[in-house]
Amino acid sequence: MSKVDHDPASRRYAKKWQETLDRDESYYIPEKYQLGIVANYLSRHDITYTTEGEVFCYPIDILAVKRGSTIAIELKSRNVGAGIEQAQRNTDYVDYSFLSLWDDDITDELLSRVSDLNIGLLGVGETVTVYSGPSQTGQELCKRSSVIETILDDVRGDPPIQQQ
């Protein structure tokens, strides 16, 4: 009677499993998980913000204000190109515009690409890292006071859950 050697099958399975893990190493983590980390960072730096803001019907993930300067932050987990376009578009409405990505998605090539634009780049991991700061935009298609009012109205109208 011949013996069945199960070892080759288990080795093939282990190899196939490792290939799957290697191939699927870059898994999708939604932007909403970035939001909590970025919001905590903004709070620690005394930056007033609102989430899911709008300027001229354009949605902006985070609209913020500090000392009279307006800030927009676009959160992305995939489709970095669209995030760059959105952050660039936001420079028309705010003083400073950032693109926020997971730390693992930030490459030297991306840093080089963003350095040619007037947007900043935030990396999100356990905390937030500012990889590059944006240039202050000179052009305003929306009055700064209108953006600040949008942020403050939303913050005033949305009390913390403890106060509800």
Question: So what's the pLDDT on residue 163?
Answer: 43
15 confidence band (pLDDT: 50, 70, 90): confident
Residues 6+ apart with CB under 8 A from 54: 60, 150
Check if the beta carbon of residue 131 is closer than 8 Å to that of residue 121: yes
Backbone φ, ψ for residue 3 (5° rounding): -85, 140
Tell the burial category of 58 from Cβ atoms under 10 Å away from its Cβ (0-12, 13-18, 19+): middle
More confident site: 97 or 55: 97
Structural domains of the chain ordered from first start: 31-159 (3.40.1350.10)
Collapsing DSSP to helix, strand or coil, 7 comes out as helix
Question: So what's the pLDDT on residue 162?
Answer: 37
Question: So what's the pLDDT on residue 102?
Answer: 92
Q: What is the pLDDT of residues 67-111, one digit of tens each?
A: 888 888 999 988 889 999 999 988 888 889 999 999 888 999 999
Picking from 28, 40, 123, the residue whose alpha carbon sits closest to that of residue 78 is 28
Question: So what's the pLDDT on residue 31?
Answer: 72
Place of tokens 């985070």: 62
Q: What is the pLDDT of residues 113-155, one digit of tens each?
A: 988 888 999 999 988 989 988 877 665 666 666 666 676 666 5
Apex 66 CA angle, 64 and 69, nearest 5: 85
- Whole-structure pTM value: 0.71
